[in-house]
Amino acid sequence: MKMTLQEIAGVLDTTVAKAAEQYSVTGVCFDTREIKPGDLFVPLAGARDGHDFIETAAQKGAVASFFAAGHAPVDTKLPLLVVDDPLTALQDLARYYLMIKVNPKVVAVTGSNGKTTTKDMTAAVLSTQYHVVKTKDNFNNNIGVPMTILSMETNTEVLVVEMGMDHPGELDFLSKMAEPDVAIITMIGEAHIEFFKTRDRIADAKMEIVHGLKEDGLFIYNGDEPLLQERAKNVEQDQKTFGLDPTNDLYAKNIVSSQTHTDFDLSRWPDLHFTIPIMGEYNVTNALAAILVGRRFHVKPESIQRALATFKVTSNRTEWLVGDAGESILSDVYNANPTAMAAVLANFSGFPTKGRRIAVLGDMLELGEASRDLHAGLAKSLDPAAIGEVYLYGNEMAALRDELAAKYPADQLHYYPEGEQKRLIVKLVEDVRSVDLVMLKGSHGMHLENVLQALLDAERG
């Protein structure tokens, strides 16, 4: 971005010192550890009051800072733009920058699972023909979405923005901020069921993504999901469905999944064979959503095919790595819900190996009263003949341990309550051999990335 402080002050109906009006802002930042010269600092409320870091931001090159009206003064020479609330100001500035300064086409993606992969695939497809900006990492909430918008260069033609939620109303707000030209729902799962209680309510919340959809926009959704089929009847905009059932507008067939890639054919172009560099039937459906977006933007089928074959997956999502002992590690430690966990286990169970398949599973969070049953239900996805060793971490995983005790020998089932991750790491590092396959999956809050790092860095005698 590039805006003067005078223009920003005008957008937000505030003022800035006359001597600073022509200062150029080239970015925004709310974390002083990442401040770059030319940034506008946004002091947000968190574990610490962001206003406490204004002077640090100045020392690192910030050109100005928002400042909440009524807040106690701070000792700084940095130009301040006084606003009612810094977060609201960030969101208002993002809306202006999106609509007035850049005005790209907007593709918004949400879903209980697969939204990040779908975002990555969609951006790769569109990048064959357009200048595309996509959501970085997990910047998908009421802070991350405006930050993504403000990261655009002025020549951006398409913005692919991921939208997350864990409470009703969040997607309504984000969708109305971005006013997408295309809105995508990948699937409805059990993520955040602690707050919503039922999958029906989760579906209602996910449907909020169409609340800001432009009148001439397109709604793309998983047509294999009855909850979405039912709710889509109330959407007036054009619609396209994807899935594995032949009733969808776009469906896949002849799916063959391996450890490092998945092959499939399409109903639409029988002469084109598709490959994605990621495992799993569930990722094929994500690719179908990206294909529909590509066709909406008139990307040629052959270009879509090439883009999907080489797209890059956001780190820690079904990523294959090699451990210190030479073992192959499937890292999927960013997030977890029962649907996704079962799907990954199903694929992992079939991968060829000269050693053992070892599953390391962490708690799936935010499942509320259904947590015990949903964790225990994973037992049907674990077979000692396919996955020889199971490591469980977290208090909720005790329910799965109890279920597995009937079919797993005691020396092949390892359970560690929350707080005992170091014990798990010691045992696992001792256990794993070069010929083994290791899978790690759990909610981000369980920090299985520590286990991953231990396997990557371990020194074995």
115 is known to lie in a ligand binding site: yes
267 is known to lie in a ligand binding site: no
The type of residue at 336 is A
Please tell me whether residue 74 adopts helix, strand or coil conformation.
Answer: coil
Calpha distance 168→208 (Å, rounded): 9
Contact criterion met (CB below 8 Å) for 237 and 213? yes
116 is known to lie in a ligand binding site: yes
111 is known to lie in a ligand binding site: yes
Where do the H-state alpha helices sit in 164-298?
170-178, 193-196, 199-206, 226-232, 281-296
Stated as kind and residue range, the H or E segment containing 342 is: helix 338-348
Which parts of 61-213 are beta strand (E)?
A: 64-68, 80-83, 105-110, 132-134, 158-162, 182-185
> Counting beta carbons within 10 angstroms of the beta carbon of residue 370, is it exposed (0 to 12), middle (13 to 18) or buried (19 or more)?
middle
Q: How far is CA 380 from the centre of its chain?
A: 27
222 is known to lie in a ligand binding site: no
155 is known to lie in a ligand binding site: no
Contact criterion met (CB below 8 Å) for 44 and 83? no
422 is known to lie in a ligand binding site: no
> Counting beta carbons within 10 angstroms of the beta carbon of residue 277, is it exposed (0 to 12), middle (13 to 18) or buried (19 or more)?
middle
Calpha distance 298→244 (Å, rounded): 23
- Of the candidates 242, 205, 237, 238, the one whose C-alpha atom is nearest the C-alpha of residue 222 is 242
Task: Please enumerate, by residue number, every residue annotated as part of a binding site.
Answer: 111-117
Task: Please enumerate, by residue number, every residue annotated as part of a binding site for ATP.
Answer: 111-117
